[in-house]
Amino acid sequence: MTSLEISLVLASQDPKKLAEFYAFVINGEVHLGFNNKNYRVLSQNGLIIETYLPSQQKPLPSKGKASSYCFKGLPSKNPLIKIKEWCSELINQGAIVVENPVIESFGAEAWMADPEGNHFLILIPMQQDCQI
C-alpha cells in the first residue's frame, strides 16, 4: 500500500491571499503548491490546507456551512471573552462574523467567513476544573 497525505482543499479566486489568511488563523506557513495557482498552508501539528484556482472550465463551488473548518482554541474559564478577542483578530485579517459568538455548555463558538465568503467555525472550549 502506498502512503498517502491528507489535506483540506479550498477553491479560491485568489489562492495566495486565502492561503495567507489561513496561515494566520492556524499560525502556519504558506508554501507554493504545484504552481502559482496552488498554495499549501502547513501547521506545526501536521494540518495541511491547500488553496487552488479552479480551471477555467469549472465555476467556483458554492459557499456554505454544511462542511467547514473548525478551529479550536485553548480551553478557557472565560471562553466568550476569548472568542470575542479572536473574532476581532480575524476581522482585522479580512474575516466577517456570520453568527455572533454564543456561549454553550461546552464553551463558546462563532461562525465566521473568510475573505472569500467560505464559512468556518471557531470554538473555545470551557475549561474544566479537575477534581480528584
> What is the pTM for the complete model shown?
0.75
Note the Cα 68 to chain centre separation in Å.
8
Topology, domain 8-52: 3.30.720
**CATH 3.30.720.110 domain residues, the chain:** 69-125
Q: What integer pLDDT is reported at residue 70 of this predicted model? A: 83
Run of H or E including 97:
strand 96-104
- Segment 112-121, tens digit of pLDDT: 999 999 999 8
Q: Does domain 69-125 have CATH number 3.40.50.300?
A: no
pLDDT surpassing 60 at residue 132: no
108 within 8 A of 99, measured Cβ to Cβ: no
**CATH 3.30.720.120 domain residues, the chain:** 8-52
DSSP-assigned letters across all residues of 31-46:
EE-SSTTEEEEE-TTS
Quote the percentage of the chain above a pLDDT of 90: 63
Average pLDDT, the chain: 88
The Cα diameter of the chain in Å comes to 61
- Segment 11-23, tens digit of pLDDT: 888 999 999 999 9
Q: Give the whole-angstrom CA distance, residue 65 versus residue 108.
A: 18
- Segment 36-69, tens digit of pLDDT: 889 999 999 999 999 988 877 666 666 665 567 8
